[in-house]
Amino acid sequence: MAGLRTFDAFPKTDEQHVKTSSKGGLSSILTYLFLLFIAWSEFGSFFGGYIDQQYVVDDQIKETVTINLDLYVNMACKNIRINARDITGDRGLISENIQMEGMPFYIPVGTRVNEMNNIVSPDLDEILGEAIPAQFREAIDTSELTGRDDFNGCHIFGSVPVNKVKGELHITAHGWGYRSASAIPKDQINFNHVINELSFGDFYPYIDNPLDNTAKFSDEKIKAYYYFTSIVPTLYKKMGAEVDTNQYALSETEYGESSKATGVPGIFIRYQFEPMKIIISDMRIGFFQFIIRLVAILSFIVYTASWIFRLVDKSLVLALGPKWSLHYSKDQSPSHGLLDE
């Protein structure tokens, strides 16, 4: 029984044969701190999730899509016509279906003049936080104020349904570009404009788009401004919440009387719909998968750190001698094992 009481299934080295080292202790502390940092990062990634972006064929069949438009034009509303046409041959005068009100033309503070906005992929949380649906207000009756000299502009805004095919939206002067009994004189044409909103699909006023808050201003009044948009349906998903909207790529050009190109003055927005759809989702791995991943990463770090420690120790001993070993201790008498006697 006495031998059984002293039996140790996990024998330990006697303290007289153990050599401590401050260098080895420091390396262990650094390794533990690094392991804690990695574990903290992995827990943050687990609870925060990751963004998964997929490109799929758009399988939703929609006959129409809505164009949300809000802009100022430096012309009187009575001189402006708004038309839409597409590759199917459909044409429509939508001036009657959109809100138009007289206003003093101005460029709001913070608007980028004669510059395009930087195209930036929106953040998922930003989209979900700002995807608040809204509707345009009714037009204000300014008929009693139109005689004022400073009412030199027109506020055009509203949501217009169009066929979901390649098409164009034309904002032109009365009698220019379309058959009419009369046309306004050139000195009344001025297509300097401010675009506050141009989006497609459901109207989310707080989501930024490439043409939002941009303006075109020129001393040359008789000009044609062309905007070419390529629209991609985009679905944002996070924890059960979904926002179905559209992104669009943009290019633009403009022509004036001084240029060689000829054409009708106005603002022309050309749009086409891509057959692909982007799905941006917030994803999380399963808990057991996370535990396996965490254990595998930490084990690999410990294994790698041990081999790095041995390699550095060997290199120091070979290059500078035993005193530079990471296991070296500054005791007065060197330690000897039983086999050294």
Per residue in 249-280, pLDDT tens?
889 998 887 666 667 889 999 999 998 888 88
Q: Would the pTM count as exceeding 0.85?
A: no
> Using an 8 Å Cβ cutoff, are 86 and 167 in contact?
yes
Per-residue pLDDT averaged across 287-302, rounded?
A: 87
Output the pLDDT for position 54.
Answer: 84
Q: CB-based burial of residue 153 (10 Å sphere; 0-12 exposed, 13-18 middle, 19+ buried)?
A: buried
Q: What H or E segment, with its residue span, contains residue 281?
A: strand 276-283
What is the band of 335 on the pLDDT scale with cuts at 50, 70, 90?
A: very low
CA 315 to mean position of chain CA atoms: 49
Least confident of 129-138, 202-211, 231-240: 129-138
Looking from the CA of 231 toward its CB, the CA atoms found within 13 Å total 21
CB neighbours of 125 closer than 8 A, spacing ≥ 6?
238
Read off the tokens for 230. Answer: 């390529």
Task: Determine the Cα–Cα distance for residues 64 and 273; give it in Å rounded to an integer.
Answer: 11
What is the band of 219 on the pLDDT scale with cuts at 50, 70, 90?
A: confident
Total Cβ atoms within 10 A of residue 305: 17
Per residue in 148-201, pLDDT tens?
567 788 999 988 888 888 999 999 988 877 666 677 888 888 999 999 999 998
Output the pLDDT for position 337.
Answer: 43
In what order do the strands lie in the sheet containing 64-73? 99-103, 153-163, 64-73, 193-200, 214-216, 112-113
Residue among 223, 221, 241, 242 nearest 233 (CA): 242
**Which position has the token pair 């930490």?**
298
Whole-number average pLDDT of the chain: 78
Residue among 195, 34, 14 nearest 107 (CA): 195
Task: Determine the Cα–Cα distance for residues 115 and 210; give it in Å rounded to an integer.
Answer: 11
Torsion 249-246-166-198 (CA) sign: negative
Output the pLDDT for position 160.
Answer: 86
Per residue in 12-42, pLDDT tens?
555 555 555 555 567 778 888 888 988 888 8
> Using an 8 Å Cβ cutoff, are 166 and 273 in contact?
yes
Task: Determine the Cα–Cα distance for residues 312 and 252; give it in Å rounded to an integer.
Answer: 61
Output the pLDDT for position 341.
Answer: 43
Task: Determine the Cα–Cα distance for residues 286 and 159; give it in Å rounded to an integer.
Answer: 43
Please give the share of the chain, as a percent, with pLDDT higher than 70: 74
Residue 106 vs residue 322, higher pLDDT: 106
Least confident of 21-30, 206-215, 228-237: 21-30
Please determine, for residue 10, whether its predicted confidence score (pLDDT) is greater than 60: no
Output the pLDDT for position 195.
Answer: 93
How far is CA 1 from each of CA 5, 10, 128, rounded to the nearest angstrom?
6, 18, 72
Please determine, for residue 330, whether its predicted confidence score (pLDDT) is greater than 70: no
Task: Determine the Cα–Cα distance for residues 33 and 336; give it in Å rounded to an integer.
Answer: 33
Output the pLDDT for position 11.
Answer: 60
What is the band of 340 on the pLDDT scale with cuts at 50, 70, 90?
A: very low
Please give the share of the chain, as a percent, with pLDDT higher than 90: 14
For 22, which DSSP code?
H
For 69, which DSSP code?
E
Output the pLDDT for position 129.
Answer: 67
Output the pLDDT for position 262.
Answer: 61
Read off the tokens for 184. Answer: 């306004």
Output the pLDDT for position 87.
Answer: 87
Per residue in 139-162, pLDDT tens?
565 555 555 567 788 999 988 888
**Which position has the token pair 């207000």?**
137
